[in-house]
Amino acid sequence: MKEFVARAHIALADPKAVIGPLCEHMVEHGAEVEEHGGVHVVRHGGAHVRFVQEGGSTTVDARAASLEELYYLRMMVASHILEFAGGQNPAIEWSGDGGDLQRPPNFRILQVAGIRDVTPRMRRITLSGEDIARFATLSALHLNILVQHPDLPEPQWPTVGANGLIRWPDPQRRPFFRKYTVRSLDLAAGTLDIDFVLHDDAGPGSAFAETARPGDRIGVVGPGGGGLVEADWYLFAGDETALPAIARMLEQLPEGARGRALIEVADAGEIQPIDCKAGIVLDWLCRDGAAAGTTRLLADAIRDTPFPEDGSKIFAWAGCEFEAFRAIRSHLRQERGLGKEEHLVVAYWRLGRGGDEVGAEA
Ligand SMILES: Cc1cc2nc3c(=O)[nH]c(=O)nc-3n(C[C@H](O)[C@H](O)[C@H](O)COP(=O)(O)OP(=O)(O)OC[C@H]3O[C@@H](n4cnc5c(N)ncnc54)[C@H](O)[C@@H]3O)c2cc1C
């Protein structure tokens, strides 16, 4: 099997202070790390990185099974070296495979092909482009849309720097990244659908959906994130921002699937048809006047849901506002005792904060 290889020599004033913490950090991300005589080797999936000190220089060898994986590896190494080197800002220049990448391999420019409102507050935008099949995976459901800075007359697209990191022609006015879910795909037509919540206090994502016109170009990066894990019994929970993900997963479940799905929406006008298997009980929770992100509807409904106690393999998936995410995650872990492999709970947005601050500490 072909291996893709890149190498960089990096001058670090105190290599131990950078490479050690970087390796520890990678362990938190599920990597395995070995250290022999000052040589660190980090393995993650099929990829691996080797750090060797040679005089005043640290040589980094990165190897991966595909060019795309090598791109992520180079980016991971470069961003963490810059992070752990403090203000030092060491020069990083990769040689080898991937040196001629013009654009990030997970970046595509898509075109708005259709717009329709599914419900009063949910707008479906159909995007077309080449290689749509790369988004047809249930293990990575979302992508980032790149909403252009309003002061730019023309869209700017990312390139890849010699250090492996994304570069912008005008970094001060780089696009806003917002996460959305691939709701459905039509591979024959070369299109995918994204369902946008048209929310109050519109940020770049919601505003894009309000103003998009057929023919507009939009940059996307992805697919990414976690997805569905096979189980005997499922719990799905989410507000309208997670509705597209839940609907897509429900539609793809096998015929005999069992479980419960809880979807919170503004009111009955936001309920939409979802193709649900007979063994899944779908309940809609309406806020009926309460503002999004202010209720305990989802957390309470999960608390009231009996889980099977017959040894069934359980998988719980939830996506919602940050406070609900905290309540649900803590309930599933502490009171239901679900392990790491048995749940995926994600903050999809945060009241009063922009999409790039969702994970930030309060
Ligand atoms: C993995 C993932 C997948 C997602 N998929 C989808 C999807 O398919 N469809 C979708 O619509 N959203 C989706 N979201 C949520 C979406 O990214 C956020 O709602 C994002 O904040 C919207 O960006 P914005 O630019 O419109 O608003 P921002 O600039 O991020 O925020 C501006 C203001 O709007 C508020 N706000 C943000 N979202 C909402 C909301 N839903 N209701 C009320 N107020 C809000 C914020 O609290 C803030 O005060 C997803 C999020 C994640 C993490």
pLDDT > 60? residue 107: yes
Q: What is the pTM of this model?
A: 0.93
**CA 209 to ligand 1: nearest atom:** 26
Domain end (from 224, 255, 280): 224
Are residues 113 and 92 part of one domain? no
204-259 confidence digits (pLDDT tens): 999 999 999 999 999 999 999 888 899 999 999 999 999 999 999 999 999 999 99
153-207 confidence digits (pLDDT tens): 999 999 999 999 999 999 999 999 999 999 999 999 999 999 999 999 999 999 9
Domain end (from 183, 205, 224): 224
Task: State whether the beta carbon of 349 lies less than 6 angstroms from ligand 1.
Answer: yes
pLDDT > 90? residue 1: no
Which residue stretches of the chain are H helix?
A: 15-28, 67-84, 204-211, 243-252, 297-303, 322-330
Are residues 18 and 133 part of one domain? no
Angle (nearest 5°) at CA 332 between 247 and 239: 35
- The single-letter DSSP state of residue 292 is T
Task: State whether the beta carbon of 196 lies less than 6 angstroms from ligand 1.
Answer: yes
Name the β-bridge partners of 197: 122
Task: State whether the beta carbon of 203 lies less than 6 angstroms from ligand 1.
Answer: yes
Q: Which two tokens stand for residue 94?
A: 């990769």
Q: What is the mean pLDDT of residues 132-145?
A: 94
Cβ count within 10 A of residue 114 = 12
Cα–chain center distance at 162: 25
Task: State whether the beta carbon of 205 lies less than 6 angstroms from ligand 1.
Answer: yes
For the chain, the distance separating the N- and C-terminal CA atoms, rounded to the nearest angstrom, is 47
Q: What is the mean pLDDT of the chain?
A: 94
Q: Domains in the chain: how many in total?
A: 3
Q: Is residue 297 part of a domain?
A: yes
Are residues 145 and 255 part of one domain? no
The secondary structure of 2-28 as a DSSP string is: --EEEEEEEE-SSHHHHHHHHHHHHHH
Q: What is the mean pLDDT of residues 108-134?
A: 97
Task: State whether the beta carbon of 244 lies less than 6 angstroms from ligand 1.
Answer: yes
Domain end (from 63, 96, 129): 96
Nearest protein CA to atom 22 of ligand 1, as residue: 205
Q: Is residue 102 part of a domain?
A: no
Distance 61 CA to ligand 1 centre (A): 39
275-309 confidence digits (pLDDT tens): 999 999 999 999 999 999 999 999 999 999 999 99
d(CA 71, CA 69): 5
Q: Could you tell me the residue range of the domain that residue 339 belongs to?
A: 233-357
Task: State whether the beta carbon of 292 lies less than 6 angstroms from ligand 1.
Answer: yes
